[in-house]
Amino acid sequence: MFGGNWTTDKLQRIRKYLVAYTTIMRKQNFKQYMYIDAFAGTGWLTLKQNEQSELQSELPLFAGIVEQDSKTNLEGSARIALQVEPRFTKYIFVEKDKKRFEQLENIKLEFPDRDISLSNSDANMFIRQICQNQNWIEKRERAVLFLDPYGMQVPWDTVAAIAQTQAIDLWYLFPIGVALNRLLKKKGQINESYRQKIDIIIGTNEWYNVFYEERKQLGLFGEELDIVKVANFDSIKQYFVGRLKTIFPGVADHPKLLYNSKNNPLYLLCFASGNRRGSPTAIKIAQDILRRE
């Protein structure tokens, strides 16, 4: 781990990528290279009781999996990105919660010499709009986009809209343990609404036949057909990397599992690169950052 807990670990890895990215982009001839933070928070890490209950209310079975972070005044992704040198040409921060957004607005005063655009809106709507409403390649615009949701807030359609620009590098904290694996019951009897939630974040219902298998068991009345879970964190990880590869020209093959202090895997830190020409370098850098202990 890069020191600290899984939250600071993920942020330090992303910071390293941002530094490498702007160092390269500064020497190229792009009109804009932006940092887009779609789940920006307040600018500070404040994982407190209210955030835990927000996560738990999404699906009650998440109770207890995310530990409380007692630290305060640690910088969050937005502030970290703003301090990266060389700088991005523009910063876009999206935060849905009104109170958090009001706090986030202070960064404009703190960083008056940066081009910062703030939106108090839903990340998915916002992303689809900026991805679909302009031709990124023609306008010579590029971006790094960070998706840092608590749980299953990012439908596959949003990820596909990002890929379709062919101009955006994506860091995505996929909720593999905090949500997905918890919904994959051992016997394959998954409540229909949970099944739909999984379909939405993975973008297909084919996962069921990958994560479950029919097995013949010898029961009291002869052979019976059972459905058993064959998925584990490793196979889910590989499956999700494969899904990303269907829409991005480059995907880091070894995303990083982030664990809480009780050693429960919470999130999978994934990287995908949107531009065919830029992607070999981007993947090499990201994979190196993801591999480090």
Task: Catalog residues that contact ligand SAM under the rule CB under 6 A.
Answer: 11, 39-41, 45, 76-77, 94-97, 100, 122-123, 148-150, 153
Which SS3 state, helix, strand or coil, does residue 247 take?
A: coil
**Which CB, 116 or 231, lies closer to ligand SAM?**
116
The least distance separating ligand SAM from the CB of residue 137, rounded to whole angstroms, comes to 26
**Which CB, 73 or 189, lies closer to ligand SAM?**
73
Q: Closest by alpha carbon to 175, among 249, 93, 236, 263?
A: 236
Q: Closest by alpha carbon to 14, among 267, 278, 277?
A: 267
* Integer Cα distance of 56 and 67 in angstroms: 12
Render 140-199 in DSSP notation, one character per residue.
TEEEEEEE--SSS---HHHHHHHHHTS-EEEEEEE-IIIIIHHHS-TTS---HHHHHHHH
The least distance separating ligand SAM from the CB of residue 200, rounded to whole angstroms, comes to 13
* Integer Cα distance of 167 and 170 in angstroms: 10
How many residues appear in the chain? 293
The least distance separating ligand SAM from the CB of residue 42, rounded to whole angstroms, comes to 7
Name the closest residue to ligand SAM (Cβ): 76
The least distance separating ligand SAM from the CB of residue 110, rounded to whole angstroms, comes to 15
Cα torsion for 29, 32, 37, 40, to the nearest 10°?
130
The least distance separating ligand SAM from the CB of residue 189, rounded to whole angstroms, comes to 29
DSSP at 68 = P
The least distance separating ligand SAM from the CB of residue 236, rounded to whole angstroms, comes to 21
**Which CB, 65 or 190, lies closer to ligand SAM?**
65
Q: Which residue is it, tokens 């993801």?
A: 290
Contact residues for 80 (Cβ-Cβ < 8 A; gap 6+) = 11, 14, 15, 18
H or E element in which residue 251 lies: strand 250-251
Tokens standing for 91?
A: 């910063």
The least distance separating ligand SAM from the CB of residue 55, rounded to whole angstroms, comes to 9
**Which CB, 80 or 231, lies closer to ligand SAM?**
80
Cα torsion for 274, 278, 279, 284, to the nearest 10°?
-140
**Which CB, 178 or 272, lies closer to ligand SAM?**
178
The least distance separating ligand SAM from the CB of residue 246, rounded to whole angstroms, comes to 24
* Integer Cα distance of 235 and 216 in angstroms: 22
**Which CB, 131 or 231, lies closer to ligand SAM?**
131
**Which CB, 43 or 249, lies closer to ligand SAM?**
43
* Integer Cα distance of 193 and 49 in angstroms: 27
**Which CB, 102 or 288, lies closer to ligand SAM?**
102
